[in-house]
Chain A
Amino acid sequence: RKEVEQDPGPFNVPEGATVAFNCTYSNSASQSFFWYRQDCRKEPKLLMSVYSSGNEDGRFTAQLNRASQYISLLIRDSKLSDSATYLCVVNENYQLIWGAGTKLIIKP
């Protein structure tokens, strides 16, 4: 079992829709969590950190469920520019462990 798992997608979603994806992690001692966005052939860029209480940034909401060991990302009112790969990252023993990413395609 991989340490951090994501559904690779692609998720094909019409513009304006709401989309959510999860990321599961295997180490219950993981300390912090992040979502990154990566455009094709570009470097990953931090989208948001994930706090225990959940956090929201505009159209994006991230949540952490420690009991079930997953984090989620919700995108509301999706835009064409949201098309990208979304990478889940878990801090485990002072290392960053990466998922393989979920590809999101927003269609007009």
Chain B
Amino acid sequence: DTGVSQDPRHKITKRGQNVTFRCDPISEHNRLYWYRQTLGQGPEFLTYFQNEAQLEKSRLLSDRFSAERPKGSFSTLEIQRTEQGDSAMYLCASSLAPGQGITEAFFGQGTRLTVV
């Protein structure tokens, strides 16, 4: 399978615990995005990387959230001290970013987080 993969698919955690999600993008894609989606809403932008550089982080993202892409390949998203409001589907996507504009983004199947 050469698509975007995310792990785990589901995560249930107690409030206050830390969680980490992993995303493996399509191998030739240099751009990687993290989104959060709740029921009835479109994906909400969290952050994105171009290769290993984190170029932008949403103002909505609290300092409990951190993302890395150390070698420009896979990425991790960590949420510290989880809160019930963090319950959502966390989606990772990747795309090519040529000189101008971007190409279509392809999504992983997401990690569904439930904070109890």
Contacts and interface: CB of A to CB of B under 8 A. Distances in A.
B102 A94 contact: yes
A26 to B, nearest CB: 15
Contact of A96 (B41, B55, B105, B110): B105
Interface string A69-84: 0000000000000000
Interface band, chain A: 20 to 34
B74 interface: no
Given A95-B48, A101-B42, A46 B104 contact: yes
Contacts of B65: none
A94 B97 contact: yes
A95 B45 contact: yes
Contacts of B73: none
B16 interface: no
Contacts of B108: 43
B42 A98 contact: yes
Interface string B74-95: 0000000000000001010100
A49 B48 CA distance: 21
A22 interface: no
8 contacts: A31-B101, A34-B104, A34-B105, A43-B109, A43-B110, A46-B104, A96-B105, A100-B40
